[in-house]
Structure 1
Amino acid sequence: MLRKIKTAAVTTLCCTVLGAGVAGCDGDAMENWDPMAPATRTAQAAPISGTKKIEVAGRSVNVSCSGDPEKGRPVIVLMHGAGDGLDKLAAVQKTLSKQNRVCSYDRLGSGGSDQPDGPQSFSSTGKILTGVLDRVAGDNPVVLAGHSLGGLIAARYAPDHKDRVKGLVLLDATPPTMLDDIKKSIPESAKGPAAELRAQNLAVFQGQNPEKLAVADGEVRSAGNIPVEVIKHGKPYLKAIPEYGSRLEKAWAVGQRKWLGLSSAAKLSTAANSGHYIYVDEPGVAVQAIERVTAQAARQAHGE
C-alpha cells in the first residue's frame, strides 16, 4: 500500500484524474483502499422510484431513479467519478428529473454497491452498466453523462452499444491516454513528491483503487453521429503542481479534445469558473448540456 502524500499538488492531481476518493484526496483515503452473468433487459419491470438495490450478475448494485418515464424518450444515466457515489450527483439528478427520467448508480466498490469479486476491466464494469441499463431503461434509449472516471467508462462503453446509447456528456472526463500522459508529464527521473505522485497514480491505474478497476489507455472509437458534449474545467489548477503542473494541464486539455473523436457531432466547451467538479461548481452548465444532448437524441430517435 502506498503511503499518503499530503501536499496540495498531489491532492489536486489525484482528485482530478479519477475522483475525490483517489490517493491523498481525503486524508486516510489511500490507507483504506483495498488493493486490487450477463443480465437481460426487463422492460416490463416496475420503474424504480427513489434508491434501491438491484441484482446484476449476482451482485447488489445501488441505484437511484427519479422523474417520470416516457416511452421512447432517452433515460439519462449519471455516472460518478472514482471515490464518489450517486449521492454526490443527487442535486443534479433532482434538477434534471423535473423534465426527464434520470437514474444514477454506484459502481461495484463504490457507495452502497457490493465490492467486486476480483480485478475489474472496462469489459467487466461495462457488463454491470449493461445490467443497470436493462433494469432502469429497458428498451428505451439512454444518454450517459459521466464525470471524471465515470466519463471515461461511458466513452469506452458507447461505441460498443450504439443500439441504446444515443448521447454522451463528458464532464472533465479522465482522458483516454491518461496513463501515458502521467508518465510523459512526470518523468521517471522525478524526485520528491512528484515522484511519489507518479508512482501513486500508476498504481491507481493498475487497479489499486476501491473499484479494483485497471484503467487502460486506448484509442477513441466512434459511436456514430450521436450528440456528444465534452466539457473541460476552466480553472487551470493543475498548474499549481510544482515543475510539472503546466505539462499536466496541457495534457489534460489535449485529452479532452481527443474525446471529440467519439462522434461527428461532438462539441467541446469550457466551464470557465469550474475546477474538476463541474457539476458542483457550475451545475447549470452541466444540467443545460445534459438537457441539450437528451433533446437532440430524442429528435434523432424520431427522425427529425
Structure 2
Amino acid sequence: MAGKKILNITKLIIYILIFILLIGFIYEKQAEKQTLKKFPAPGEMVNLNGDILHVNIKGEGSPIVVIESGSGSWSIDWFKVQNTLSKYATVVTYDRAGYGWSSRSSKPRTGDQIVNDLHDLLRAKDLKGPIILVGHSLGGLYTRLYVQKFPDDISGVVLIDSTPIDFNSKLSQINPKSAHKFHKASEQNNNIAAFLSRFGVTRIIAKSLELNEFPTEIRELKSELAVQSKFYLTINEEINYTSQLKEKLQGKSFNDIPLTVITHSKPTDFTKFGFTGEENKTIEDHFQTMQRELSNLSNDSSFVIAKNSGHNIMFENPEIITKEIKKMIIKQKLK
C-alpha cells in the first residue's frame, strides 16, 4: 500500500514538472516573438542556402569596411563604430549564423564554413571590395582565414584584441588545472544556459541582471535577444572548431596587405578560474607579446594600445577603433 502511494506521489511530481516545463516552453516561444516585434532587425535578412543571415549595411562608397565579431557577439555591438565610420565609407556588420537576428545553422561551425558564409553574403549583396576586414577576438581568427582564402578581396586588415593562436597552450603551461577549468567552465555554463533557455529560465534571470558591460543603448536588447538556446549552442559549436581553425593559420601571413593591430590596456581577470595574481600578470604579459607578434603578419603594419579599455574595445574605447580604421580608409582613398 505504501509503495503504491509513493508511486502515485512520484507520478504526480513528474506530471507537475512536465506541466511547468510546458508552460515555460510556451512562455519562451511567445517571448521570442515579442522580442522580434520589439527589436526588429535593423538590417536585411538574406537567405544563404537555407540559412537566414542578418546583414546591416550603412554608408556608401569605397573601400568597404566589414566587421567580424567575436564569440557571442554580433552586429549590434558595433553600432557606435558603424555609425561613425559610415560617414566615410560603406560599413557592413552582420550576425553569424546562430547569433542576433540570424537563424541557427545545421552546418558545422568550422572556420571554413563561417568564412564562406561571409564571402557568399557579401557576394549576395554585390559587395565585392576592396574590403577593409575588421576582426575582434575570435573574429580575428576568422578574419585571418578570410584573408588567406580570398586575398584579392582585401585591401586592409584591422585585428582588435584578436585571439592568439598559441594562447590556450600558454594558459596550460602556466597552470594546467586552472586552464582546464577556464575552458570547461564556458562550455558547461553555455550548455546549462542553452537547456534552461528553452523554458524561459535564462530570459527571466537576464531581466534581473544589470549587464553593465554593455552600453546603455543596447542593454535591454541584449538581455532579450541573447537568451535563446541557439546563442549558447553556437558559442560552443564555434569554440569546438577553434583548434582546427588555428592549425590552418599556422605560418600564414598577409604579405603586403596593410594591417593595424589594436589591443587592450586593462588586463583580463583570470583569477576567477583559479589562476593566482602573479599568474594573471604572466598571462597578460604573454597576451601582449602575442598581440605585438601579430604585427609581423604584414610588411605594412602598426600596433596600437587602446587606453582605458579591456577586451571589449568596441564598447570601452570605440573612438580608437574608428580613428585607426578611418586612417586606413583615407589612405586608400588617396591612392
Which TM-score applies when normalising by structure 1?
A: 0.72
Is the contact between residue 155 and residue 262 of structure 1 (CA under 8 Å) also seen in structure 2? Answer: no
Deviations 1:189-219 (A, max 9, x none): x2xx665224336889xx9753612112332
Aligned counterpart, 1:4: none
Deviation at 1:54, TM superposition (A): 0.7
Is the contact between residue 76 and residue 103 of structure 1 (CA under 8 Å) also seen in structure 2? Answer: yes
Structure 2 CA distance for partners of 1:139 and 1:239, relative to 1, 3 Å: closer
Is the contact between residue 129 and residue 154 of structure 2 (CA under 8 Å) also seen in structure 1? Answer: no
**What CA distance in whole angstroms lies between the structure 1 residues aligned with 2:77 and 2:83?**
11
Is the contact between residue 122 and residue 215 of structure 1 (CA under 8 Å) also seen in structure 2? Answer: yes
Deviation at 1:67, TM superposition (A): 0.7
Establish whether residue 104 from structure 1 lines up as the match of residue 93 from structure 2: yes
Which TM-score applies when normalising by structure 2?
A: 0.66
Establish whether residue 199 from structure 1 lines up as the match of residue 226 from structure 2: no
Q: Where does 1:288-299 land on structure 2 (aligned, <5 Å)?
A: 288-299=323-334
> Aligned residues, how many?
243
Is the contact between residue 307 and residue 317 of structure 2 (CA under 8 Å) also seen in structure 1? Answer: no
Q: Which moved more, 1:172-181 or 1:133-142?
A: 133-142
Aligned counterpart, 2:56: 64
Aligned counterpart, 2:237: 212
Deviation at 1:115, TM superposition (A): 0.9
Higher helix share: 2
Q: Where does 1:108-257 land on structure 2 (aligned, <5 Å)?
A: 108-187=97-176, 190=177, 195-200=180-185, 209-210=234-235, 212-213=237-238, 214-216=241-243, 217-218=246-247, 219-238=250-269, 242-243=275-276, 244-257=279-292
Deviation at 1:250, TM superposition (A): 2.1
Unaligned ranges ≥5, structure 1: 1-48
Q: CA RMSD in A?
A: 2.5
Deviation at 1:265, TM superposition (A): 0.5
- Structure of larger gyration radius: 2
Deviations 1:122-179 (A, max 9, x none): 1111110111221345332111112111122112211221110111111111112233
**What CA distance in whole angstroms lies between the structure 1 residues aligned with 2:234 and 2:293?**
25
Is the contact between residue 61 and residue 112 of structure 1 (CA under 8 Å) also seen in structure 2? Answer: yes
Deviation at 1:223, TM superposition (A): 1.8
Structure 2 CA distance for partners of 1:95 and 1:116, relative to 1, 3 Å: same
**What CA distance in whole angstroms lies between the structure 1 residues aligned with 2:188 and 2:328?**
35
Is the contact between residue 227 and residue 297 of structure 1 (CA under 8 Å) also seen in structure 2? Answer: no
Identity among equivalent positions (%) equals 26
Unaligned ranges ≥5, structure 2: 1-40, 190-231
Match of 1:271 among 290, 303, 306: 306
Deviations 1:89-134 (A, max 9, x none): 1121011111211110001111111212143211111110111221
Deviation at 1:294, TM superposition (A): 2.4
